[in-house]
């Protein structure tokens, strides 16, 4: 069987900053691809972020029997478009979707162009599906899979127990020509790697912990070290939701990396309180190659930290930023901008970042993302069917009413990127630099046109004045 895996591209006209300043390898599909190859399938992976116009040609050339698509909430409508087009090209092709949004809001994929929706961990149910299809049998009654049965989607059963070490290693040979193009700022090319799954915290704005029902699964350290040895890229981003909440394990992993003489540079998520709890552990990691941490600062206001259930206070954040600087670890800090902010809150955020010399501030707009138990009732961007317009759930657009006029709010939000432009240029991000060039050009063009009109008007006025003066000189005396 031929299996085509597709990572959808976001809609450029809506998401002005691309995939948050980075295009990293589609590791979720590399896991699925590895599972498909275990079933003897021929597998191809198409990353539409890099090959935006290649869908038709790839489908017609490869002629897949099964197509698998993943993505986040902002990819939902694009994923549906992709599957619809595939059905138009090859009507008999089986379409399967999975990923974060499919797990949390599977009904958004109960559409004619979709045959199956996989929830939670997908490698095991996908293998079972492929096994059934290869035998010419119908796919129904598979745990963790919603399948179309007599025109209606039915769940085949609850998800089985999860064994993190039973998952195959991601097949990084699926995109050999693309690997050099994956990056996160100066880290290029960069590989992604997962050592744990799940998160033990319960932040109110986040749904990641719900994907695994609030449980925290850890891979055997020896397996992690062995996988690291197989990665050719120098830069590696640990995409664990929070690896440093297990300090003893991370100490063991740092020791294993050192003993294996693995020479790489690492980027990882880390809570501020984890950073502060064990400075010795962080120094050990800095010694084995940790160069950057992604800190979810989220907010500088104590009342919001409480509302978000972050379990920390502003003074801890300040100490955490200072501690990282003392250890020589660069910080990528995310700040949530709530739609109820006024100019005052925007100014306070800017002042905080400047006062604490944050290396790389990133900004997202508070959004009632799936799985957070935040109601969609106030969502102002809707599809014709009444569901939220998921295209705007990119954390860069307000999807609920703003306290300020929306245009003013967006001006202040966009200004955050302008204020800290030098931070982004210093990161050497190709996408960020290009985005600023495009944005500068977009801003420059109207002013150039206006300046040309003003200059032309001045020249015309000067010519008129000169002409009138000449006529006066030529006129005979009265």
Q: In the chain, helix, strand, coil percent, each to 5?
A: 45, 15, 40
CA–CA dist 355, 338 (Å, integer): 21
CA–CA dist 237, 243 (Å, integer): 11
Residue 147 lies inside a defined structural domain of this protein = yes
Whether 199 and 327 map to the same domain: the answer is: yes
Average pLDDT over residues 30-34: 98
Whether 67 and 188 map to the same domain: the answer is: no
Domain range holding 280?
182-428
Q: What is the pLDDT of residue 139?
A: 94
Q: Identify the CATH number of the domain in which residue 25 sits.
A: 3.40.50.2300
Whether 151 and 209 map to the same domain: the answer is: no
Residue 41 contacts residue 77 (beta carbons within 8 Å):
no
Q: Which of 412, 428, 444 is the last residue of a domain?
A: 428
Of the chain, the percentage scoring pLDDT greater than 90 comes to: 81
Whether 319 and 187 map to the same domain: the answer is: yes
Strands (E), 314-431: 330-337, 360-365
CA–chain centroid gap for 289, Å, is 24
Residue 391 lies inside a defined structural domain of this protein = yes
* DSSP notation for 271-325: -HHHHHH-HHHHHHHHHHTEEEEEEEEE-S-HHHHHHTT----HHHHHHHHHHHH
CA–CA dist 406, 429 (Å, integer): 29
From 131-140, 401-410, 435-444, the region with the lowest mean pLDDT: 435-444
Whether 189 and 131 map to the same domain: the answer is: no
Residue 465 lies inside a defined structural domain of this protein = no
90-107 per-position pLDDT tens digit: 999 999 999 999 999 999
Residue 374 lies inside a defined structural domain of this protein = yes
Query: Tokens 């703003």 identify what position?
Result: 402
Within 13 Å of residue 264, how many CA atoms lie on the same side as its CB? 27
Query: Tokens 């699964």 identify what position?
Result: 217
Run of H or E including 184: strand 183-184
Using the predicted structure, report yes or no on whether residue 477 has a pLDDT greater than 70. no
Whether 126 and 265 map to the same domain: the answer is: no
Q: What is the pLDDT of residue 447?
A: 39
Q: Identify the CATH number of the domain in which residue 231 sits.
A: 3.20.20.70
| Strand, coil or helix: 407 | helix
CA–CA dist 179, 248 (Å, integer): 33
CA–CA dist 410, 416 (Å, integer): 10
Confidence of residue 446 (pLDDT cuts 50, 70, 90): very low
Residue 388 contacts residue 382 (beta carbons within 8 Å):
yes
Whether 136 and 207 map to the same domain: the answer is: no
What are 155's strand-pairing partners?
146
Whether 82 and 148 map to the same domain: the answer is: yes
CB-count burial class (<10 Å; 0-12, 13-18, 19+) for 350 = middle
Whether 151 and 186 map to the same domain: the answer is: no
Q: What is the pLDDT of residue 451?
A: 45
**Mean residue pLDDT across the chain:** 90
Residue 365 contacts residue 334 (beta carbons within 8 Å):
no
Q: What is the pLDDT of residue 211?
A: 85
**What is the number of domains present in the chain?**
2
318-332 per-position pLDDT tens digit: 999 999 999 999 999
162-196 per-position pLDDT tens digit: 999 999 999 999 999 999 999 998 899 999 999 99
| Strand, coil or helix: 202 | coil
Confidence of residue 476 (pLDDT cuts 50, 70, 90): low
Using the predicted structure, report yes or no on whether residue 2 has a pLDDT greater than 80. yes
Q: Which of 243, 298, 245 is nearest to 266 (CA)?
A: 243
CA–CA dist 133, 137 (Å, integer): 5
Q: What is the pLDDT of residue 212?
A: 82
Residue 340 lies inside a defined structural domain of this protein = yes
Residue 452 lies inside a defined structural domain of this protein = no
Whether 334 and 418 map to the same domain: the answer is: yes
CA–chain centroid gap for 47, Å, is 14
From 18-22, 63-67, 341-345, 367-371, the region with the lowest mean pLDDT: 18-22
404-435 per-position pLDDT tens digit: 999 999 999 999 999 998 888 887 654 354 55
Whether 254 and 400 map to the same domain: the answer is: yes
Residue 478 lies inside a defined structural domain of this protein = no
Q: Which residues contact 82 (CB under 8 A, 6 or more apart)?
A: 6, 8, 48, 55, 69
From 54-58, 126-130, 213-217, 360-364, the region with the lowest mean pLDDT: 213-217
Residue 441 lies inside a defined structural domain of this protein = no
Whether 218 and 361 map to the same domain: the answer is: yes
């Amino acid at each position: 069987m031929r299996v085509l895996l597709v990572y959808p591209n976001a809609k450029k006209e809506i998401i002005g900053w691309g995939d948050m300043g980075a295009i990293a390898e589609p590791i979720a599909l590399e896991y699925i691809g590895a599972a498909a190859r275990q079933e003897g399938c021929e597998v191809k992976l198409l990353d539409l972020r890099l090959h935006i116009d290649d869908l038709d040609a790839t489908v017609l050339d490869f002629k897949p029997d099964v197509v698998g698509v993943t993505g986040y909430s902002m990819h939902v409508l694009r994923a549906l478009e992709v599957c619809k087009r595939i059905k138009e090209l090859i009507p008999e092709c089986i379409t399967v979707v999975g990923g974060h949004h499919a797990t949390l809001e599977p009904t958004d994929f109960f559409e004619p162009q979709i045959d199956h929706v996989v929830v939670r961990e997908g490698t095991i149910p996908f293998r079972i599906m492929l096994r059934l299809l290869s035998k010419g049998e119908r796919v129904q009654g598979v745990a963790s899979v919603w399948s179309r049965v007599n025109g209606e989607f039915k769940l085949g059963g609850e998800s089985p127990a999860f064994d993190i070490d039973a998952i195959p290693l991601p097949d990084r040979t699926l995109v050999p020509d693309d690997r050099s193009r994956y990056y996160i700022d100066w880290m290029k090319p960069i590989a992604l790697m997962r050592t744990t799954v799940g998160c033990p915290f319960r932040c109110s704005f986040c749904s990641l912990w719900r994907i695994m029902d609030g449980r925290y699964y850890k891979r055997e350290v020896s397996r992690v070290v062995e996988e690291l040895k197989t990665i050719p890229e120098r830069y590696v981003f640990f995409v664990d939701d929070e690896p440093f909440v297990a300090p003893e394990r991370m100490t063991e992993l740092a020791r294993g990396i050192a003993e294996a003489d693995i020479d790489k540079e690492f980027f990882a998520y880390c809570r501020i309180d984890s950073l502060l709890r064990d400075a010795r552990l962080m120094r050990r990691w800095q010694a084995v190659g940790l160069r950057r941490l992604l800190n979810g600062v989220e907010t500088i206001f104590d009342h919001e930290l409480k509302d978000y259930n972050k379990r920390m206070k502003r003074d801890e954040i300040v100490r955490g930023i200072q501690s990282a600087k003392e250890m020589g670890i660069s910080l990528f800090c995310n700040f949530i901008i709530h739609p109820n902010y006024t100019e005052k809150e925007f100014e306070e955020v800017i002042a905080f970042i400047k006062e604490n010399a944050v290396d790389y501030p990133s900004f997202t707009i508070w959004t009632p993302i799936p799985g957070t138990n935040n109601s969609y009732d106030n969502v102002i961007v809707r599809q014709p069917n009444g569901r939220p317009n998921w295209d705007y759930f990119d954390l860069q657009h307000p999807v609920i009413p703003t306290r300020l006029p929306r245009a003013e709010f967006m001006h202040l939000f966009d200004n955050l990127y302008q204020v800290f432009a030098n931070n982004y240029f210093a990161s050497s991000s190709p996408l960020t630099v290009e985005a600023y060039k495009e944005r500068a050009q977009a801003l420059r063009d109207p002013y150039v046109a206006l300046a040309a009109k003003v200059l032309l008007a001045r020249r015309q006025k000067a010519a008129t004045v000169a002409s009138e003066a000449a006529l006066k000189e030529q006129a005979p005396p009265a």
